[in-house]
Amino acid sequence: MSHSHKFETLDVVLNGLMRRYKERVPDVSVILNAMVADGVVNNVDDIENDHIAFRTMGVPNLGVRSFEKIFLHYGYEKRDHYFFEGKKLDAWWFSPPRETDPRIFVSELRVNDLSEESQRIITSYTNEVTTDPVDALDLDNGVEVDAFLHRPLWRTPTVADYQSLLHESEYAAWVIYNRYYLNHFTISVHNLPDGYNTVAAFNEFLEKNGIRLNTSGGKIKISPDGGLLQSATIAEMIHAEFANGEHLEISGSYVEFAERKVLPHFQNIPPAEITRRHRRDGFEAANADKIFESTYTTQTRK
Ligand code: OOG
Ligand code: NI
C-alpha cells in the first residue's frame, strides 16, 4: 500500500471521527464560530489539532493492544507510557506520520485492579468480543474503519450496570457506554495571534463565550518543566439510551486546549521558523490525571 493511499485513508478516519464528535459536542461549534467571529482565524481549517484521545477497556481482545493496530498501520509511532495509580489507568501517546496530523493519546482501564463486582459487570459485556475485532478489519478501507469506531462492540448497557460502575470508576462507566467515540480534540493555542496564544488568554476568551472549564487542579494544568500548559471544557451531557428503553443524561466528550512552549534549546530561532519539532512534545501525567476528570461528576455536577 502506497504512502499516499495510507494518508488518504487516515484522512477519511480522522474526518469521520471529527464529524461525529462535532455532532455530540455543541461546545465545539460555539468555540470555532467564536474564533472566526473574533478574527482569531480566517477559516476553521487553519486551527491546529494538537491531539485527539480515546479510552479503552484493558481486557483480552480489546484495550490499547488492539486499538493501536489501527493507527500504527497509518504510520503513527508508539511513544511514552503513563501510569495513573488512583484512577487505575495506563496510557500511551502516539506520534503522527505528518506534522499536520494530531498526536493520539490512548488510555486503558486496568480492569483486573477493580473490585470483583465491577470486573463481573465489565466482562459480562466485553466477553461478547471473542477475537480481536481490529484483526478482522481491512485497515486500508477508511470507510470500514470509520464505521468500526462508531459501532457497538458489546450490547447496550443497563442503567443499573452503568451506575454501579460509576460508583467505583467513572472512567469504566464512560467507556461501557461511549466506547471508541472521540473523547476530545485539542486546539493548539501557541500559533494563534497575540491575545489568544496562551492557555491563560484563551481561557478568558472561552469563559467570555460561556464555556465552562474543568477546575480540577486549577483551570490551567502546567507540566513541571513549564513547557506544556493545558485546559479543558467540562464534558457535555448526552441524552443516552440504555437497555430496556431506559434513558439517562450522562457525560459525553469535551474539548481541550494546549500551549506548547519553544524548547530552551531553540530559544534563538526566529518565530517565523518555529515548527512543531521546536516545541515541548508529548504529554504530562500530572496534567492528564486532572484532565481525565473533565467527564467526572465532580466536574459535570458543579
Ligand atoms: C484523557 C485525559 C488526558 C491529556 O492531554 O493529557 C489528556 C481522557 O480524558 O481520556 O487528554
Ligand atoms: Ni488531551
Residues 6+ apart with CB under 8 A from 62: 56, 126, 129, 132, 133, 153
Tell me the HSE value of 162 on the side-chain side, using a 13 A CA sphere: 21
Bridge partners, residue 77, by sequence: 95
Written as nine digits, the cell of 150 is: 462508531
Instruction: Please tell me the residue having the least CA distance from ligand 1 atom 2.
Output: 292
**Three cell numbers written together for 45:** 481549517
Q: How far is the C-alpha of 289 from the C-alpha of 221, rounded, in Å? A: 10
Q: Of all atoms in ligand 1, which is nearest to the CA of residue 295?
A: 9
Distance CA 135, CA 61 (A): 10
Look up cell 487542579; give the residue.
217
Q: What is the mean pLDDT of residues 44-48?
A: 96
Helix (H) / strand (E) element for 254: namely: strand 254-260
Q: How far is the CA of 105 from the centre of ligand 1 (A)?
A: 7
Ligand number, closest to the Cα atom of 294: 1
- In the reported structure, the alpha carbon of residue 269 is separated from the centroid of ligand 1 by a whole-number distance in angstroms of 30
Query: For cell 477497556, what's the residue?
Result: 57
- The three-state secondary structure class of 109 is strand
Sketch out the chain's domains with CATH numbers. Answer: 3-300 (3.10.180.50)
| Residue 106, C-beta contacts closer than 8 angstroms, at least 6 positions apart | 53, 54, 55, 56, 64, 67, 68, 91, 92, 93, 94
Instruction: List CB-based neighbours of ion ligand 2 within 5 Å.
Output: 53, 256
Closest ligand 1 atom, residue 288 Cα: 6
Model pLDDT for residues 143-195, shown as the tens digit of each residue: 999 999 999 999 999 999 999 999 999 999 999 999 999 999 999 999 999 99
Cell numbers for 209, please give them. 463565550
Identity of residue 66: S
pLDDT in tens, 71-86: 999 999 999 999 999 9
Q: Whose CA is nearest to atom 9 of ligand 1?
A: 292
Tell me the pLDDT tens digit for each residue of 243-290.
999 999 999 999 999 999 999 999 999 999 999 999 999 999 999 999
Query: Is 292 touching ligand 1 by the criterion CB < 6 Å?
Result: yes
C-alpha 54/C-alpha 130 separation (Å) is 21
Q: What is the 104 CA–ligand 2 centroid distance (Å)? A: 8
Q: Are 76 and 232 in contact (CB under 8 A)?
A: no
CA of 245 to the centre of ligand 2 (A): 33
Complex ipTM: 0.99
pLDDT at 4 (0 to 100) = 86
Task: For residue 61, count other CB atoms closer than 10 A to its CB.
Answer: 17
Q: Is 105 in the pocket of ligand 1 (CB under 6 A)?
A: yes
Ligand 1 atom closest to the Cα of residue 291 is: 2
250-279: b (≥16 Cβ within 10 Å) or e:
bbbbbbbbbbbbbeeeeeeeeeeeeebebb
Distance 257 CA to ligand 2 centre (A): 8
CA–CA distances in Å: residue 229 to residues 124, 242, 258, 275, 284: 39, 37, 6, 18, 9
CA–CA dist 227, 166 (Å, integer):
34
Q: Determine the distance separating the centroid of ligand 2 and the alpha carbon of 121, expressed in angstroms.
A: 28
* 55 Cβ inside 6 Å of ligand 1: yes
Question: Which residues on adjacent β-strands are paired with residue 52?
Answer: 104, 185
Question: Ligand 1 within 6 A of 52 CB?
Answer: no
Distance from C-alpha of 186 to C-alpha of 241, rounded to nearest angstrom: 27
235 lines ligand 1 (CB under 6 A): no
- Helix, coil or strand: residue 119: helix
Pairing of strands 184-188, 221-222: unpaired
pLDDT tens, position by position, 80-120: 999 999 999 999 999 999 999 999 999 999 999 999 999 99
- Count CB neighbours of 156 within 10 A: 14
pLDDT at 1 (0 to 100): 63
